[in-house]
Amino acid sequence: MPAKYLEARKYFSGFKLAHDTYNAISCASDGNIYYILSSESIESGGQFYVYKPRENKIEFIGDLTELCREKYLKAIPQGKSHVEFYEKNGKLYFSTHVGFYELIDGMDRLPENPPAGYEKYPGGHILSYDLITREVEDLLLVPGGEGIVSMTMDKERGHIYGITWPTGRFIHFDLQTKAFHDIGLVSGLGEAGTPGKDFRTLCRSLFVDPRSGKVYFSTAEGDIYWYDAQQKTLTAEEEVNLRLDYFGLYDPTQPGSMAYNWRKIFWHEPEGVAYGIHGNSGYLFRFDPLKKNIEIVERIVSEPSRKSGMFDQFSYGYLGFELCKENDTIYYLTGGPIYKNGKLVRGVEKIAKGAAKGLENLHLVTFHIASKHYLDHGPVLYSDGSIPTYVNSIAIGKDGYIYTLARLEHEGKIIQDLVKIKNPLQG
């Protein structure tokens, strides 16, 4: 064990089929941690839970397929949620995604030939969860049989926006009128496309400028688009893009990276700008929608990564990137290279999907925005010295802990479940 490390405490929620989860964990206003464990099983949907820190207790809320009223369909289930929870007027809003795939040429594809006795995936849903009554409401089934891979919410105006998977259609849902708008494809044929032609990795994170209501997303080519909810139009920014030398060089038609997409982004109200992270390079940047410019702020990968110059081993970069408004600090769960006998442990050169190219440590990095103070708090380890892996989510608790979902061993099997880490910036 290294001299300096953060200990991660494991939890078992009760789902023995739990698979890798992306984004789907948030701390709500009640102080509880809401999360969804993914399923890649044809027989089970993703599982929705709440962890109550005051009681140190986990409660099961429901199976996503059942919450979508689709258990009777005998179809490919609602295997996961790929988005954070957005809270408005005592309700959490989120969406569902497919978790059972066909692996074709090393790529995860939407199943065209379901197993015998099963129908095709019916499509992703937008759901709400009432924090008081615990009622789950099914607000919308997205037409077309695609999942929802990214989502954001304009809380002030009551609009939900998202991008579907695999073809990448931009969608808009008005909570008040219940009107749904399919604006069309945003980048080639998305992840349903043919590599070298119309394949494009899709943006996993959108943000809303609360002043204008415009919602922004990126593309694999590095373009930045915004959507006008009144006009129902998408517009590309002409004066600014993400094709920056610091991010690296990419062929956006090839799988295996996010290319020039930002990996994760959030709105920073005090400055009226967005802060984003480019996944592979780990560069933090600042995007000003009014000035239409991007500034590189800092490379906020782990200290060992900064010294070695390595990219992240997870081919898409990491989603465990969040602002803590109370201390104006970015928390980032990222990777760190491993050395054995003084030699760097390297992974494979290429991989055709979002996955780890090799083993690396998990590190917690914080970055205080006002002072621009970067700090790597060291590796995160379980009590037995093993490494939490496939970490692509984060929630900053009100109880002095950081929460995420990570791979761990339970009864001799590797699953993914809830993990909590003491927040080093809180006493």
With H, G, I as helix, E, B as strand and everything else as coil, classify residue 352.
Answer: coil
pLDDT at 3: 65
pLDDT at 354: 64
What are the tens digits of pLDDT across the range 277-335?
999 899 999 999 999 999 999 999 999 999 888 787 777 999 999 999 999 999 999 99
Question: 273 pLDDT band (50/70/90 cuts)?
Answer: very high
Q: pLDDT at residue 27 above 80?
A: yes
Spatial distance between the Cα atoms of 108 and 280, rounded to a whole number of angstroms: 20
Q: pLDDT at residue 414 above 90?
A: yes
What are the tens digits of pLDDT across the range 198-214?
999 999 999 999 999 99
pLDDT at 355: 65
pLDDT at 4: 82
**Are residues 261 and 242 in contact, defined by beta-carbon separation less than 8 angstroms?**
yes
Query: pTM of the prediction?
Result: 0.96
Round the average pLDDT of the chain to a whole number and report it. 94
Q: pLDDT at residue 99 above 70?
A: yes
Question: 105 pLDDT band (50/70/90 cuts)?
Answer: confident
Cα distances from 414 to residues 101, 261, 291, 322, in angstroms, run: 20, 31, 47, 26
pLDDT at 208: 98
Q: pLDDT at residue 104 above 90?
A: no
**Are residues 394 and 321 in contact, defined by beta-carbon separation less than 8 angstroms?**
yes
Point out which residues pair with 218 in neighbouring strands.
224
Q: pLDDT at residue 153 above 80?
A: yes
pLDDT at 381: 97
Question: 126 pLDDT band (50/70/90 cuts)?
Answer: very high
* Location of structure tokens 């089929």: 17
**Are residues 122 and 110 in contact, defined by beta-carbon separation less than 8 angstroms?**
no
The more confident residue out of 105 and 127 is 127
Q: What is the mean pLDDT of residues 18-34?
A: 97
Query: Residue 321: phi, psi to the nearest 5?
Result: -135, 115
Cα angle for residues 126, 203, 65 (degrees, 5° grid): 30
Closest among 298, 282, 256 to 335, alpha carbons compared: 282
Closest among 45, 22, 111, 94 to 354, alpha carbons compared: 22
Q: What is the mean pLDDT of residues 175-184?
A: 98
Point out which residues pair with 267 in neighbouring strands.
274
Q: pLDDT at residue 347 above 70?
A: no
**Are residues 311 and 248 in contact, defined by beta-carbon separation less than 8 angstroms?**
yes
Element (H, E) at 305: helix 303-308
